[in-house]
Amino acid sequence: MILASLLAVVLAVPALGQDIVYTSIHNITNIYGTWSSGSQNVMTGPGFAQPANESFIYPKTTGLSYSFTSDGYYEIARYRMNGNGSQPNCITGVLNWCHGTYTLNPNGSITTIPFGDGYQQIQDPCAAYSNFVQNYNDTEIYVQWGISQDPVKGYTLQLYQYDGTPLAPQWLVSTSPNMLPTQSLRNVTPPLTTNSGLTQNAIVLNKNAGERRWAIGSIHGILAIASGLGMMSLLL
Ligand SMILES: *[C@@H]1O[C@H](CO)[C@@H](O)[C@H](O)[C@H]1NC(C)=O
Ligand SMILES: *[C@@H]1O[C@H](CO)[C@@H](O)[C@H](O)[C@H]1NC(C)=O
Ligand SMILES: *[C@@H]1O[C@H](CO)[C@@H](O)[C@H](O)[C@H]1NC(C)=O
Ligand SMILES: *[C@@H]1O[C@H](CO)[C@@H](O)[C@H](O)[C@H]1NC(C)=O
Ligand SMILES: *[C@@H]1O[C@H](CO)[C@@H](O)[C@H](O)[C@H]1NC(C)=O
């Protein structure tokens, strides 16, 4: 992937072992609030997940939304469609919701630890079970984040997944987070085998070959390069 090599170049200037400093170079405002990608049809809060009966209200378009409170709670709403090159009619749809507590780590990453009541609905017209709901309780790590100013959309949150892949940029919807209650919202019987460790969920997250890692770098260069190439929109 072209972007992958660009990222590797831009991020090759890390201050190894140094703690991140949240100045206006890294984030021009704080992360608290609700953020949403694209046309902002996907939003955390009551309009997306209905945990009591494990259902979803379908957004008009795909996208993702993250909320963070100032006292350490987060919520994620995601709606994706994955195409299938060999079978164009086999488009898999995934609706995914979870919430819990997050940590802004000293090295600039974010760890999200779910309460355990998260779930996702998978629609795969070509699979034996074409539509089903399953628990989703993966701890996730975002290796880097930053907030910049978009001349049109305003404050823009950029998150980078565990493997460095950037998520679609998200615009600030509201500085007061729009979230469901920050506690477990349904009873979950813990599975016999849990999905422990950092998430590698191939359906929800972008597929990516090979692992890359780095420490702290300026992400503004990346944002400029990536959006200059118009690649961000491809990554949703
Ligand atoms: C960057 O974000 C952190 C966490 O939300 C916040 O504490 C800090 O004040 C922010 N920096 C600026 C310049 O707003
Ligand atoms: C789930 O519950 C909500 C209310 O919380 C209700 O509006 C919705 O119709 C229910 N959906 C299903 C599939 O039962
Ligand atoms: C495409 O669909 C086929 C048939 O259902 C499946 O075997 C294959 O794994 C799918 N490929 C991807 C990339 O999802
Ligand atoms: C950054 O810190 C987190 C939390 O301590 C840790 O899990 C992660 O491995 C660290 N990342 C790097 C690149 O050292
Ligand atoms: C969900 O994951 C968290 C963090 O790994 C764990 O503490 C909790 O027991 C899990 N809950 C369930 C229901 O699996």
- Residue whose Cα lies nearest atom 10 of ligand 3: it is 84
Band (204; pLDDT cuts 50, 70, 90): very low
Asked if residue 226 has pLDDT above 60, the reply is no
Strand partners, 102: 112
Give me the DSSP letters along 11-22: TT---TTPPP--
Mean pLDDT for 171-181 is 98
At residue 174, what is the residue type? Answer: S
Testing ligand 3's pocket by substitution, the residue of 126, 130, 201 carrying the most ligand atoms inside 8 A of its CB is: 126
Quick: pLDDT tens for 107-118.
999 999 999 999
Q: Where are the beta strands (DSSP E) in the chain?
A: 33-37, 49-50, 55-56, 63-68, 73-82, 92-104, 110-114, 119-123, 131-135, 140-142, 144-150, 154-160, 170-174
Determine the Cα–Cα distance for residues 109 and 51; give it in Å rounded to an integer. Answer: 28
Res 218: pLDDT: 31
- Residue whose Cα lies nearest atom 7 of ligand 2: it is 50
Looking from the CA of residue 53, the nearest atom of ligand 2 is 1
Answer positive or negative: Cα dihedral of 117, 123, 127, 130.
positive
Six-digit token string for 25: 């170079």
* 24 torsion bin: left (phi>0), alpha (psi -120 to 50), beta (else): alpha
Res 198: pLDDT: 39
Determine the Cα–Cα distance for residues 34 and 40; give it in Å rounded to an integer. Answer: 11
Looking from the CA of residue 124, the nearest atom of ligand 3 is 5
pTM: 0.79
What are the residue boundaries of the structural domains of the chain, listed by start?
A: 19-183+197-224
Q: Is 186 helix (H, G, I), strand (E, B) or coil?
A: coil
Q: CB within 8 A of 9, min separation 6: which ones?
A: none
Q: Is 198 helix (H, G, I), strand (E, B) or coil?
A: strand
Ligand 5 contact via 194 beta carbon (within 6 Å): yes
Between residues 82 and 32, which one has the greater pLDDT? 32
How far is the centre of ligand 2, averaged over its atoms, from the C-alpha of 24 (Å)?
Answer: 43
Quick: pLDDT tens for 132-169.
999 999 999 999 999 999 999 999 999 999 999 999 99
State phi, psi for 187 to the nearest 5 degrees. -80, 130
At residue 15, what is the residue type? Answer: A
